[in-house]
């Protein structure tokens, strides 16, 4: 459940809360708890149910970009307005300050009290409020921020923006701003596809307004489906990160392939041989390379974690599919092979489910060796400029990793001790050594995201040394 301190609330909101609490016979804390609980329930009930794996994950570095950023959030009317509450919470969790403006129509769907409670800032609603104008004023609202996000953006607000109209606070601020503006449209599919809206969207794009969505799917109105849904919170934040992130991108223009996760080697159509790899380290590396500007294709075995944002994911099941995909994606600049590829597969997997028959002996299987993807890529005529492999070992870490470096044609091997007591396999942390032709570097105990970011920076440095 969301939490916040009443002390930090804006005076107007505190007063509003005080009155509401008195009316309902609650303390202010109780009233606030009830408001927050109802917001959680509403967003639970209204959000489409998704499996864990289908929810995209945000870059682990989103807080680095959002920390201290001032976001002016304009909420316009529409059933999707409730989702802006979740957006506020996720932005604030990452250290951003959110200053809200609500249009009149938005206030029909969610209350300024909820928005104020979550932003802990004054909610700007009235263009002609003398108090607001004296205090901040629409020009300052438009300028004192790092970006403006309109979520949801209605067809009406888009039309006003496209025509430069300024007849309420939201449209006036949008006309007066010199900051980047991101809009997340949400409307009925007929309204979105209407020629006028499409014309306005084109005009706004040409004017340099950023868009996220709308998405296709079921609408809140029963029986309606099509394009017009507000993008999910994390998709909106990912787009914001893209716009706000001004950190250096040393891998811009570089292409990378990353393998991740386990492989499933079929025994028959329902059974397979697998291992305990979670894919966390490989996925984090793909995200970190993309973060530094690389165009990344992630070849992922079956995993139960979200797809990293900003990365193209190719999903495969077995080692042979992983190899075919990797070879199709050559040439590229960087290959990082993190997948825990099964060493063997069943020779001639059964086409039908193998039945248990009374009185018959248990089946036996012949295993054949799987192709070594790292080795094939490392010795390929289209070999990437930089090839990185992993060595998960339970003994003789450095010796085994050094042997792999040479045998597999890699430039670097990231070696880790995966003895069960380390908790690395499937866990969130990793302790690695970087084994290269010029020596061994021992890294401290780090989160898998930190290992990924350090490795991505090292890859960028090695590539720049190669191109000198």
Q: Among 78, 96, 57, which residue's Cα sits nearest to residue 290?
A: 57
Write out the two tokens for 33: 């708890």
Q: Whose Cβ is closer to ligand C5P: residue 254's or residue 404's?
A: 404
Report the chain's C-alpha Rg in angstroms: 27
Q: Whose Cβ is closer to ligand C5P: residue 63's or residue 328's?
A: 328
Task: Please pick, among 8, 24, 188, 275, the residue that the annotation labels catalytic.
Answer: 275
Write out the two tokens for 399: 């010796």
**Could you give the CA distance from residue 322 to residue 327 in angstroms, rounded to a whole number?**
9
Q: Minimum distance from CB of 370 to ligand C5P (Å)?
A: 5
DSSP letter (8 states) at residue 58: P
Q: Minimum distance from CB of 388 to ligand C5P (Å)?
A: 8
Indicate if 406 belongs to the active site. Answer: no
Spatial contact of 184 and 231, defined as CB atoms under 8 Å apart: yes
Please tell me the number of Cα atoms within 13 Å of 110 on its side-chain side. 33
Q: What are phi and psi of 331, to 5 degrees?
A: -80, 155
Q: Minimum distance from CB of 250 to ligand C5P (Å)?
A: 23
Please tell me the number of Cα atoms within 13 Å of 309 on its side-chain side. 20
In order of 133, 149, 158, 243, 421, the CA distances from 240 in angstroms are 28, 8, 19, 5, 40
Q: Whose Cβ is closer to ligand C5P: residue 58's or residue 335's?
A: 335
DSSP letter (8 states) at residue 81: G
Binding residues for ligand C5P, per CB under 6 A? 259, 319, 337-339, 341, 370, 372-374, 389-391, 404
Q: Minimum distance from CB of 326 to ligand C5P (Å)?
A: 8
Contacts of 211 (CB under 8 A, 6+ apart): 182, 183, 184, 185, 201, 204, 205
Q: Whose Cβ is closer to ligand C5P: residue 122's or residue 404's?
A: 404
Q: Whose Cβ is closer to ligand C5P: residue 32's or residue 377's?
A: 377
Q: Among 48, 8, 45, 6, which residue's Cα sits nearest to residue 28?
A: 6
Q: Among 203, 210, 209, 228, which residue's Cα sits nearest to residue 218?
A: 228
**Hey, is 234 helix, strand or coil?**
helix
H-only helix segments in 195-232: 195-206
Residue 343 CB burial class (10 angstroms; 0-12, 13-18, ≥19) = middle
Q: Minimum distance from CB of 372 to ligand C5P (Å)?
A: 4
Q: Whose Cβ is closer to ligand C5P: residue 122's or residue 408's?
A: 408
Q: Whose Cβ is closer to ligand C5P: residue 285's or residue 391's?
A: 391
Q: Whose Cβ is closer to ligand C5P: residue 209's or residue 405's?
A: 405
DSSP letter (8 states) at residue 200: H
- With vertex at residue 457, the alpha carbon angle to CA 55 and CA 290, rounded to the nearest 5 degrees, is 30
- With vertex at residue 26, the alpha carbon angle to CA 24 and CA 32, rounded to the nearest 5 degrees, is 100
Spatial contact of 218 and 48, defined as CB atoms under 8 Å apart: yes
Q: What are phi and psi of 460, to 5 degrees?
A: -60, -40
Please give the positions annotated as active site. 275
């Amino acid at each position: 459940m969301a939490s916040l301190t009443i002390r930090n609330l804006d005076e107007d909101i505190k007063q509003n809360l005080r009155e509401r609490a008195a009316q309902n016979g609650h303390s202010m804390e109780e009233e606030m708890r009830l408001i927050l609980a109802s917001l959680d329930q509403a967003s639970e009930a209204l959000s489409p149910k998704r499996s864990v794996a289908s929810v995209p994950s945000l870059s682990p570095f989103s807080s680095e970009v959002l920390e201290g950023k001032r976001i002016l959030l304009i909420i316009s009317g529409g059933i999707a307005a409730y989702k802006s509450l979740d957006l506020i919470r996720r932005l604030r969790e990452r250290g951003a300050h959110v200053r809200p403006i609500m249009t009149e129509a938005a206030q029909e769907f969610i209350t300024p009290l909820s928005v104020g409670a979550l932003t802990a800032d004054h909610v700007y609603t009235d263009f002609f409020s003398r108090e607001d104008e004296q205090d901040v004023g629409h020009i300052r609202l438009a300028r004192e921020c790092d970006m403006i996000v309109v979520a949801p953006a209605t067809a009406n607000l888009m039309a006003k923006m496209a025509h430069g109209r300024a007849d309420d606070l939201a449209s006036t601020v949008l006309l007066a701003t010199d900051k980047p503006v991101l809009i997340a449209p949400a409307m009925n599919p007929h309204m979105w596809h209407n020629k006028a809206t499409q014309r306005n969207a084109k005009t706004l794009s040409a004017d340099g307004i950023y868009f996220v969505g709308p998405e296709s799917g079921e609408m809140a109105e029963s029986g309606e489906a099509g394009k017009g849904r507000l993008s999910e919170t994390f998709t909106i934040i990912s787009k914001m990160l893209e716009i706000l992130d001004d950190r250096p991108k040393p891998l811009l223009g570089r292409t990378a392939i990353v393998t991740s996760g386990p492989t499933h080697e079929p025994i028959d159509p329902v059974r397979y041989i697998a291992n305990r790899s979670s894919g966390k380290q490989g996925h984090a590396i793909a995200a970190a390379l993309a973060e530094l500007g690389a165009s990344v294709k992630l070849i992922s075995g079956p995993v139960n974690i979200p797809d990293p944002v900003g990365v193209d994911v190719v999903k495969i099941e077995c080692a042979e599919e992983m190899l075919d995909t990797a070879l199709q994606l050559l040439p590229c600049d960087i290959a990082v092979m993190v997948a825990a590829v099964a060493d063997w597969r069943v020779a001639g997997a059964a086409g039908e489910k193998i039945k248990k028959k009374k009185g018959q002996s248990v089946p036996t299987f012949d295993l054949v060796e799987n192709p070594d993807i790292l080795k094939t890529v490392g010795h390929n005529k289209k070999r990437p400029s930089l090839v990185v492999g992993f060595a998960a070992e339970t003994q003789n870490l450095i010796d085994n990793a050094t042997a792999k470096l040479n045998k597999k044609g890699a430039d670097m091997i990231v070696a880790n001790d995966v003895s069960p007591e380390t908790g690395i396999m499937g866990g969130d942390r990793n302790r690695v050594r970087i084994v290269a032709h010029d020596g061994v570097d021992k890294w401290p105990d780090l989160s898998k995201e930190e290992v990924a970011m350090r490795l991505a920076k090292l890859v960028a440095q090695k590539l720049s040394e190669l191109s000198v």
